[in-house]
């Protein structure tokens, strides 16, 4: 389920639904969204389905499964993109 949320903190070019094979931002980059949400830029370590996921905050690698983040758009292995913080404070 893609999100209609968009960045509100001045970060240029961020699209919370976009997945790319090349990094567009630094891993761990944070952003605030229009729906009072917090987002973190990550790289998928394996396929990550839409729904909750885990992010290793030392490396900002996302893995599929239950965790404190939500992938509103699925990732293929090695894709870069944004995940929503759902159960903790925004890192950094």
Residue 35, pLDDT score: 86
Q: How many domains does the chain have?
A: 1
Largest Cα–Cα separation, the chain: 31
Residue 10, pLDDT score: 83
Task: Provide block-wise average pLDDT over 10 residues at a time, the chain (92 residues).
Answer: 80 94 97 92 97 95 94 97 80 49
What global pTM score does this model have? 0.90
Backbone phi, then psi, for 87, in 5-degree steps?
Answer: -140, 20
Residue 5, pLDDT score: 84
CB of 40 closer than 8 Å to CB of 90: yes
Residue 14, pLDDT score: 93
Domain of residue 89: give its range.
Answer: 1-92
């Amino acid at each position: 389920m893609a999100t209609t949320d968009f960045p509100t903190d001045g970060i240029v070019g961020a699209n919370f639904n976009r997945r790319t094979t090349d990094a567009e931002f630094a891993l761990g980059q944070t952003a605030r969204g229009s729906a009072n949400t917090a987002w973190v830029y990550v790289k998928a370590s394996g396929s990550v389905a839409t729904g909750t996921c885990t992010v290793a905050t030392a490396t900002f690698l996302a893995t599929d499964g239950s965790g404190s983040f939500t992938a509103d758009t699925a990732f293929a292995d090695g894709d870069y993109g944004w995940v929503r913080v759902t159960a903790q404070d925004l890192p950094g």
